[in-house]
Copies of this chain bind each other. A is one copy, B any other.
Amino acid sequence: MRRSAGRRPSGQATRSGARDDLAGKLVGAAAALVAERGPQGFSLREVARRARVSEAAPYWHFPSKEALLAAVAEQGFASLAAAMAEVRARVKGRPQLQQLGIAYVRFALTHPSHVRIMFGPEITDKTAYPTLHEAAEHALSLLVATISEAQRDGHVRRGDPWDLAVAAWALVHGLSALLIDGQLKDRVTKPPEAEALASRVAKLLEIGLARTRR
């Protein structure tokens, strides 16, 4: 009960750009370890070992293993949002939604362990980490914005944009989960097949959300 509950979960340096920043190094090592071994093989002690500090050292910067993972998850939502923003900047008009969906699945397939941390039960209460919550919220807001604009341009049916966004999110998130969890291994074994499936499903999304009478 002597430490101050690990501020700076995003892991900036204490002073400007100091490179003795252990918090940042821990987040980096944690992200790498998650990518390597997945949520199962992850351990705080191994992170400490990789950062060349004692097993108790991380506790000064993060109140728990969960808090460190929350920082990793936040990082993940930031990269996801960046990937989404890139698509929104690059492709305009009717195909935007489909491309956004494909980008989502692609992100999940290239960072499966990251995605598991972002959404899985490792972080029990997401609202306990406000910056994580905001990062997730921001990614969703990009999708809602895309839907709203598509409605304005007449590419998507009328209706509550949040509802439609959740449906779109659920579709690509569900496909990602099924692929990551190996539930479709019988029929889709290689990455290109997964990409093709993602493309077809995202096409169905575009059709499904399209204005009736197309």
Contact = CB atoms under 8 A, between A and B. Distances in A.
Contacts of A178: 119, 166, 169-170, 173
A14 interface: no
B116 A181 contact: no
Nearest to A200: B163
B183 A126 contact: yes
Contacts of A44: none
Nearest to A213: B213
Contacts of A181: 119-121, 126
Nearest to A113: B121
Nearest to A39: B121
Contact of A186 (B39, B137, B187): B137
Interface stretch (A17-25, A49-57, A79-87, A201-209): A201-209
A175 B178 CA distance: 12
Nearest to A127: B185
Contacts of A201: 163, 166-167, 170
A184 interface: yes
15 contacts: A38-B121, A40-B121, A116-B120, A116-B121, A119-B178, A120-B120, A126-B181, A136-B183, A137-B186, A164-B204, A170-B172, A171-B171, A174-B176, A208-B209, A213-B213
Given A163-B200, A174-B177, A212-B214, 10 more contacts: A40-B121, A116-B120, A119-B178, A120-B120, A163-B197, A167-B171, A170-B178, A174-B174, A174-B175, A174-B176
